Amino acid sequence: MRVGQGYDAHRLVEGRRLILGGVEIPYHLGLLGHSDADVLCHAVGDALLGAIGAGDLGTHFPDTDQEYKNISSLVLLERIMELVEARGLHPVNVDATVVAQRPRLAPYIPRMAENLAAVLGLPQDAVNVKATTTEGMGFAGREEGIAAYAVVLLAPGPAEWEPEDTGF
Ligand code: MG
């Protein structure tokens, strides 16, 4: 078994879409970044890369590469999954936390978990997404940005669940 953890944070700005776990959330601010700046996917991606000892997201998908400009981070996760599978491993479960003062994320969490489960080839109950505020403290509390944490567990062998053809 292998375990990995990931952390990411992006700045909230005007004129960008807010995408978390591949779900577009209606809000007047969005996350700034080279890709779609989906912090949740980035934290999960870094956790996967950590678990296989393959560095981090920035090394694999540099923000100087035009190929990744505004790319859906679910596509980045698909590519990372190829690396995981190439090592003869598959995810067992994922647990993640999004840290945001606003907007309220609860209504969107089931769809985020669904997207992650589809890309990672996991059953729904093996992907847990949580959201928390920081009660106004720190950069997330001041609504300057959104952060995400994730841990994943990998086990040897092929996935027990077939990854869906997500079409991301
Ligand atoms: Mg990022």
**Residue 75 is assigned to a structural domain of this protein:** yes
**Residue 168 is assigned to a structural domain of this protein:** no
Q: What's the 155 CA to ligand 1 centre distance in angstroms?
A: 26
**Residue 165 is assigned to a structural domain of this protein:** no
Q: What's the 39 CA to ligand 1 centre distance in angstroms?
A: 5
pLDDT at residue number 158: 82
Report the C-alpha gap between 122 and 63 in whole angstroms: 29
Q: What's the 57 CA to ligand 1 centre distance in angstroms?
A: 8
Report the C-alpha gap between 24 and 168 in whole angstroms: 13
**Residue 46 is assigned to a structural domain of this protein:** yes
User: Could you give the 3-state DSSP secondary structure of residue 55?
Assistant: coil
Q: What's the 34 CA to ligand 1 centre distance in angstroms?
A: 8
How far lies 162's CA from each of 29, 91, 98, in Å?
A: 36, 12, 27
Q: What's the 112 CA to ligand 1 centre distance in angstroms?
A: 17
pLDDT at residue number 63: 85
The pTM score is: 0.94
**Residue 107 is assigned to a structural domain of this protein:** yes
Which residues span the domain enclosing 100?
2-156
Report the C-alpha gap between 94 and 153 in whole angstroms: 7
Per-residue pLDDT of the chain (168 residues; tens, 9 = 90+): 999 999 999 999 999 999 999 999 999 999 999 999 999 999 999 999 999 999 999 999 988 888 888 889 999 999 999 999 999 999 999 999 999 999 999 999 999 999 999 999 999 999 999 999 999 999 999 999 999 999 999 999 887 666 566 666
Q: What's the 63 CA to ligand 1 centre distance in angstroms?
A: 10
Domain count, the chain: 1
Q: What's the 76 CA to ligand 1 centre distance in angstroms?
A: 11
CATH number of the CATH domain containing 15: 3.30.1330.50
Q: What's the 7 CA to ligand 1 centre distance in angstroms?
A: 9
pLDDT at residue number 164: 60
Q: What's the 154 CA to ligand 1 centre distance in angstroms?
A: 22
pLDDT at residue number 52: 98
pLDDT at residue number 24: 98
**Residue 164 is assigned to a structural domain of this protein:** no
**Residue 167 is assigned to a structural domain of this protein:** no
Question: Which residue matches tokens 């007047």?
Answer: 28
**Residue 37 is assigned to a structural domain of this protein:** yes
